[in-house]
Amino acid sequence: MPINLDDSICPLCQQNNRCDVQSQQGCWCMKAEVPAALLEQLPDSLKGTICICNACIARFQQQNAQ
């Protein structure tokens, strides 16, 4: 997997992650609960630096629902 350095792109699906962390209001990602197992899919160099999009979070949760 090529490492994407564009923080507006989800590192998993390569779509817009709609991150707005630079705005004064902050971003949805600051309040999102991203499963640890999903974060583990990121290269160490991207952890804590780039947003996984809502669609990938929802897809992961749906696929792993009990």
For the chain, the domains span 7-66
Of 43 and 7, which is predicted with more confidence?
Answer: 43
Task: Tell me the C-alpha distance between 49 and 31, whole Å.
Answer: 15
Task: Tell me the C-alpha distance between 31 and 29, whole Å.
Answer: 5
54 falls in which pLDDT band (50, 70, 90)? very high
> Mean of the pLDDT values across residues 22-28?
76
What pTM value is reported for the model?
A: 0.78
Task: Tell me the C-alpha distance between 50 and 26, whole Å.
Answer: 14
